[in-house]
Amino acid sequence: MTIEERTRLIRNKAYDLGFMFVGFSKAEFLEEEAKPLEKWLLSHQHGKMQYMENHFDKRLDPTLLVDGAKSVISLAYNYFPSAIQSSSAPKVAKYAYGEDYHYVIKDKLKVLFEFIEQEIGAIQGRIFVDSAPVLEKSWAKKSGLGWVGKNTNIIHPKVGSFFFLAEMILDLDLLSDGPIKDYCGRCTRCIDACPTEALKPYQIDASKCISYLTIELKDEILPNEFKGKMDNWVFGCDICQDVCPWNRFSKPHEEARFSPSASFLAMNEQDWLDLSEEQFKILFKNTPLQRTKWRGLSRNIAFLDQK
């Protein structure tokens, strides 16, 4: 089987499994990303996400994650919902509406990995779903899944940016794709719309990002400087995506496991204020919201300015 045939076989299987896009890159040191990553960390824009400081070399070199790595496969999976929350309710990022994406996408990657072994032969490799020191946006950019927008998200001109990223690193030679053009142009809607001023063109100060504040930051109380700036978000934030002109092309996903429960969609402001720990465990079982635990979510709800 030729490199072209192997690449085409994997791409077609990925599409069959429901992935929106799949791209291929040579597994090599990310030299272009090294200095910007170091500068970002040294300026403490990662906030209290100490894990971002770990494994600096592995984030840049896939051969340190998989011995003999030759290719990185980048995949995109749509999560844009067909229905959204009540306008009066505290807001949850769209990616967290349904079952935790780690479970859903890992299941599909395992199927894809087994398929490759069956059709091509024994391989060494690993699968990644936002769970290891992998610069997923850099690999997505290199493989043509989109460009890195001014909001630091991967944007594709046909579907926008509401999709998850995942990777496979394999000791298998595959035909590399190339990057696509940056179409952000002069637009600064994402930067202008961010209420905490976390964005500069192509750069994010994560310590100011609402997603970081509501999910990653584990402090007992959120910083007072952000009082009145949370725009009613209690888990994550979609502002910089919602205002992006390219997301007018977003289409609802077809993944049943991402579908939100009717109970969640029906929650109003008072329901969120009255949410008990028992209700939290039932309503958000196996969803991304489990990450904050009830205590963290309650902190976020309490922090919002009450009308």
Enzyme catalytic residues: 130
Q: Which residues contact 71 (CB under 8 A, 6 or more apart)?
A: 24, 25, 26, 27, 169, 170, 172, 173, 174, 176
Nearest in space to 64 (alpha carbons), one of 27, 26, 39, 38: 27
Long-range contacts of 116-120 (CB under 8 A, 24+ apart): 116/10, 116/13, 116/170, 116/172, 119/9, 120/1, 120/6, 120/9, 120/172
CB burial string 259-295: b at 16+ within 10 A, e below: bbeeebeebebebbeebeeeebeebbeebbbbebebe
Nearest in space to 198 (alpha carbons), one of 164, 170, 233: 233
> Residue 212 gets which letter from DSSP?
I
